[in-house]
Amino acid sequence: METLMMYAIICPLVFVAGIVDAIAGGGGLISLPAYMIAGVPVHTAIATNKMSAAMGTSIATYRFAKSGYINRKQALPCVVFALVGSYLGARITLLLSADVFRVVMMVILPLTAFYVMGKKSLREDKTPYPYGKTLFLCAVISFCIGVYDGFYGPGTGTFLILLLTALAHIALHEAAGTTKVINLSTNISALMVFLANGVVDLPLGIVAGCFSIVGNIIGVKLFSQKGVKFVKPFMIVVLLIFFAKTIWEIMA
């Protein structure tokens, strides 16, 4: 009975997280707490959430690629730099407390929310940079967000989309596609470690992963059809959840 209740709590929230993640990134801010609320032990929750997220993200990545939203020549260096950054970020956790990032996030998150609400955010009419400059900026952004992901992590996809559109002048659809490739790579990398150490609840991960897949399929469809006006509200929701989570962690 307890197991059925666990599935009943986790699967619907993972489904919602899949929709949000495909549209605006940050689905982990919904799915990981779902595992915790259901009473899954911390390490198993993190590992199993990574499995369900990887399943959903793989489908979203495929559908973005099929729609022509992924520039492979641009995405590959981003993946490499993100993985290097993630490794360094994980190493930095041995030297610094996550409280440092939480305090910084208390300033960054409201500013990010105000930016997203602005008329000029996520604009599709920004003048593209030359290929070399675009590639350089994408690599730098991927490395920096990779460090953040390895060190702390929440909202990684959201920050990637925002920075790729704002700083590298990449169109929203392409930025979302590149973000999915990066997220899939980092998810698989972490999942391999968790599987090797036997901390993934495989039955729960597979079932929740199926819900994540359906959520991601719906999310990609909505993203493709609705565009910028539809993405902004989802990003605001993700940032608000992240802000509330950060306040809770600081006060706890």
Q: What angle do CA 155, 58, 75 make, to 5 degrees?
A: 70
SS3 170: coil
What's the rounded Cα separation, in Å, for the pair 74 and 232?
A: 25
Question: Which token pair is 58?
Answer: 């793989």
Question: Would you state the pLDDT for residue 1?
Answer: 45
Distances in Å between the alpha carbon of 65 and those of 95, 134, 162?
Answer: 38, 19, 20
> Which range is least confidently modeled, 12-16, 57-61, 115-119, 164-168?
115-119
What's the rounded Cα separation, in Å, for the pair 40 and 176?
A: 31
Question: Which token pair is 241?
Answer: 């959840």
Q: What are the pLDDT digits (tens) for 111-131?
A: 888 888 876 777 766 788 999
Mean of pLDDT values over 66-91 = 90
What's the rounded Cα separation, in Å, for the pair 242 and 154?
A: 7
**Ordered DSSP codes for 168-188:** S---HHHHHHHHHHHHHHHHH
Question: Would you state the pLDDT for residue 178?
Answer: 94
For residue 238, the Cα-to-chain-centroid distance in whole angstroms is: 10
Q: What are the pLDDT digits (tens) for 137-173?
A: 999 999 999 888 877 777 888 999 999 999 999 998 9
Q: What are the pLDDT digits (tens) for 179-206?
A: 999 988 988 888 888 898 899 999 999 9
Tell me what the pLDDT averaged over the chain comes to.
Answer: 88
pTM metric for this prediction: 0.86
What's the rounded Cα separation, in Å, for the pair 55 and 217?
A: 11
End-to-end Cα, the chain, rounded Å: 31
